[in-house]
Amino acid sequence: MERPIIESKVAEMLNTIQKGSIVFADDFLELGNAESINKALYRLKEKEVLIRLAHGIYLYPKTDKDLGVLYPSVEDIAVAIAKRDKASIIPTGIHALNKLGLSTQIPLNVVFLTDGAARSIKIGTRTITFKKTSPKNLMAKGAISGLVIQALKSMGQDKIDNEVLHKMHDLLKKEKAEIVLHDAKLAPAWINKILMNSIN
């Protein structure tokens, strides 16, 4: 008897959530134990009320009449996981370059630095990897300058040419000077120089 009751309570909770939201098994633990929640979510997936993205991670789908189900980006999923875990994250590697418009490559393995737990989560054909890092690497205040630091680190000092420097300076001019100044202090010396030159 307990199972259908929990399933209907989960369904009721879903009705209060915006379509397109990412939900976790943990969101429903007030309704029952982990096993019964997972079974309820599985049945709701079978009924196509939910779409399973990964273990314990579901999409309450929003559909478009032309496009069908509107799936969240890997970034949206990573942000939702970090919010659930009360962790900070920052994109790194090719993903940081891609977000800055410096690479058209779409990485299959998207890497984020985090102060939360290190782990990898498979989402379809792609993987989200959270790499544990020191708090200093997550202290950047600027959305752009923080990404620039990670992008430059992933490229390496010997790969930085005048074209890259020009693009970086153009991007950093969109950030407030005091934020760039703050973030430059967190960066290695060669990246600090690039950031400081953008505000001079």
| CATH code for the domain of 6 | 1.10.10.10
Domain count, the chain: 3
Do residue 189 and residue 159 come from a single domain? yes
In a domain, residue 8? The reply is yes
pLDDT in tens, 153-163: 999 999 899 99
Residues 113, 118, 123, 126, CA torsion sign = positive
Pairing of strands 109-114, 126-132: parallel
Same domain (yes/no): 108, 150:
no
116 within domain boundaries: yes
What residue spans of 15-73 are helical by DSSP H?
34-46
Range of the domain at 165: 141-199
| Residue 155 belongs to some domain of the structure | yes
Q: In this structure, are 163 and 116 located in the same domain?
A: no
User: Which of 98, 113, 137 finishes a domain?
Assistant: 137
Q: Cα 196 to the chain's mean position, in Å?
A: 28
Query: Looking at the structure, do residues 53 and 6 belong to the same domain, yes or no?
Result: yes
pLDDT single digits (tens) 40-83: 999 999 999 999 999 899 999 999 989 999 999 999 999 999 99
Residue 85 maps to a domain: yes
| Residue 102, pLDDT above cutoff 90 | no
Q: 127: closest CA among 94, 100, 102, 150?
A: 94
Task: State mean pLDDT over 72-99.
Answer: 93
Checking if the pLDDT of 1 tops 50, the result is no
> 69 in a domain, yes or no?
no
Q: Are residues 44 and 78 in the same domain?
A: no
- The last residue of one of the domains, among 83, 102, 137, is 137
Kindly state whether residue 157 falls inside one of the protein's structural domains: yes
- pLDDT tens for 166-180 read 999 999 999 999 999
Say how far apart CA 113 and CA 131 lie, in whole Å: 5
